[in-house]
Amino acid sequence: DAGVIQSPRHEVTEMGQEVTLRCKPISGHNSLFWYRQTMMRGLELLIYFNNNVPIDDSGMPEDRFSAKMPNASFSTLKIQPSEPRDSAVYFCASTPHYSTGELFFGEGSRLTVL
């Protein structure tokens, strides 16, 4: 079975550029989560969706960050404009609705903003 698929795995960009990270959740999973991981802050929940609807975006750091889930099999996290402090590993995770809460993580997208 395919797991959660993220792309790109690595992205290096310059400050001010737009960055788009992509995620394909496991088929049949209704909930999707975006996390950011850094050495300083650990694992932070940015936003999560249920049935393609954003339920909680209180973790999105600022207006430069936006996330969409146009359908059940695809989500994007966009940063515009990017800044060096956005450098981190961004993880996508999914889980079935009404589950016990076990999350299935992708391998992450490592973003470096110069």
- Using rule CB under 8 A, residue 114 touches other proteins: no
90 binds other proteins (CB under 8 A): no
Strand partners, 54: 49
DSSP string, 10-43: EEEE-TT--EEEEEEPPTT--EEEEEEEETTTEE
Tell the smallest beta-carbon distance from residue 81 to other proteins (Å). Answer: 27
What's the Cα-to-Cα distance from 66 to each of 3, 32, 48, rounded to whole Å? 24, 14, 12
Alpha carbons 23 and 85: distance in angstroms, whole number: 22
Q: Which of 12, 15, 43, 114 binds other proteins (CB under 8 A)?
A: 43
Count, residues near other proteins per rule CB under 8 A: 24
Among 19, 106, 111, 113, binds other proteins (CB under 8 A): 106
Work out how close the CB of 16 gets to other proteins at its nearest, in angstroms, rounded to a whole number.
28
Which residues lie closer than 8 Å to 98 by C-beta, 6 or more apart? Answer: none
46-85: which residues touch other proteins (CB under 8 A)? Answer: 50, 55-56
Minimum CB separation of residue 56 from other proteins in Å reads 8
**For binding to other proteins (CB under 8 A), which residues are involved?**
4, 31, 33, 42-43, 45, 50, 55-56, 91, 93, 95, 97-108
